[in-house]
């Protein structure tokens, strides 16, 4: 494994700055001296970071979409997607939302809790979801086959910071033994920058600029906001 540059990628995946620093320190030690003198928890922590980076590196890059491509939606459709995760693992999805748009109108909304493969919840303070809420929810493997039809005929999947959601979808599909969807991802961070030269481009910033409602880190609200960004860019409008 070549030396990673994990800071931005792991932070985007939900790792804390403290955990990223710890991973880099342990990775440097292992690369120089080997893992023999690391304790069990340190080796386990390194394996978790290695796995997260492998998933990130396998994730498909978001597809560039021109203003013309975004505007040409009357005859086609797209799906906006958002995940919330329980821990740093990309396979730890605990909530999913899909919003299907056809002819510039939302025609279907799906919002579900997911039982992740581990009971560990590190991000409850961000999204409000705990193990108690998902203990009886379906696993991704049980849920995805009925949700996949929402993507039928979609030109692309839109997500904010799309590399994260693409990585979660791929990791969850791999963990469940399912084939990930073939549609390319379009990142609404890049859409906002291209359409309005907007900085910063966190989801609340873009929603304020466009006047879109948002309950941040509620998966359905985030997915609806992504759909709204794509539609606004397609109209060539800032509001």
pLDDT at 65: 58
Burial 175-196 (b: 16+ CB within 10 A, else e): bbeeebbebbbbbbbbbbeebb
- Distance, in Å, from the CA atom of 42 to the CA atom of 27, rounded to the nearest integer, reads 10
pLDDT at 11: 64
User: Are the beta carbons of 133 and 114 closer than 8 angstroms?
Assistant: no
- Distance, in Å, from the CA atom of 190 to the CA atom of 170, rounded to the nearest integer, reads 21
- Distance, in Å, from the CA atom of 116 to the CA atom of 85, rounded to the nearest integer, reads 8
pLDDT at 56: 61
User: Are the beta carbons of 66 and 118 closer than 8 angstroms?
Assistant: no
User: Are the beta carbons of 78 and 152 closer than 8 angstroms?
Assistant: no
Q: What are the C-alpha distances in Å from 58 to residues 55, 135, 210, 220?
A: 5, 29, 33, 26
- Report all structural domains of the chain as residue ranges with CATH numbers, in order of start: 7-58 (no CATH), 67-235 (3.30.420.10)
**pTM beyond 0.75, yes or no:** no
pLDDT at 58: 59
Burial 16-54 (b: 16+ CB within 10 A, else e): eeebbebbbebbeebeeeeeeebeeebeebbebbbebbe
* Strand order through the sheet with 105-113: 105-113, 93-102, 77-85, 157-159, 185-187
Query: Torsions phi, psi of 105, nearest 5?
Result: -125, 140
- Distance, in Å, from the CA atom of 58 to the CA atom of 51, rounded to the nearest integer, reads 11
Question: What is the DSSP secondary-structure string of 103-142?
Answer: TTEEEEEEEEE---SSS--S-HHHH---HHHHTTSPPHHH
Handedness of CA 77, 208, 7, 127 (dihedral sign): negative
pLDDT at 143: 97
pLDDT below 70 — which residues of the chain?
1-14, 55-76, 236-239
């Amino acid at each position: 494994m070549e030396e990673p540059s994990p800071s931005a990628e792991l932070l985007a995946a939900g790792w804390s700055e403290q955990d990223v620093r710890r991973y880099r320190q342990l990775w440097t030690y292992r690369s120089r001296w080997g893992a023999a003198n690391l304790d069990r928890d340190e080796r386990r922590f390194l394996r978790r970071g290695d796995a997260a980076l492998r998933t990130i590196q396998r994730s498909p890059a978001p597809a560039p979409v021109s203003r013309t491509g975004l505007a040409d939606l009357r005859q086609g459709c797209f799906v906006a997607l958002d995940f919330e995760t329980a821990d740093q693992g990309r396979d730890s999805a605990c909530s999913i939302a899909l919003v299907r748009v056809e002819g510039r109108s939302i025609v279907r909304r799906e919002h579900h809790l997911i039982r992740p493969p581990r009971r560990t919840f590190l991000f409850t303070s961000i999204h409000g979801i705990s193990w108690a809420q998902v203990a009886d929810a379906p696993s991704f493997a049980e849920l995805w086959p009925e949700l996949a039809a929402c993507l039928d005929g979609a030109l692309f999947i839109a997500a904010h910071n799309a590399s994260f959601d693409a990585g979660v979808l791929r990791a969850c599909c791999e963990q469940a033994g399912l084939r990930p969807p073939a549609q390319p991802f379009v990142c609404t961070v890049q859409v906002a920058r291209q359409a309005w030269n907007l900085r910063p481009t966190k989801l609340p910033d873009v929603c304020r600029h466009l006047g879109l409602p948002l309950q941040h880190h509620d998966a359905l609200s985030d997915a609806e906001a992504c759909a709204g960004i794509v539609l606004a860019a397609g109209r060539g409008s800032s509001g």
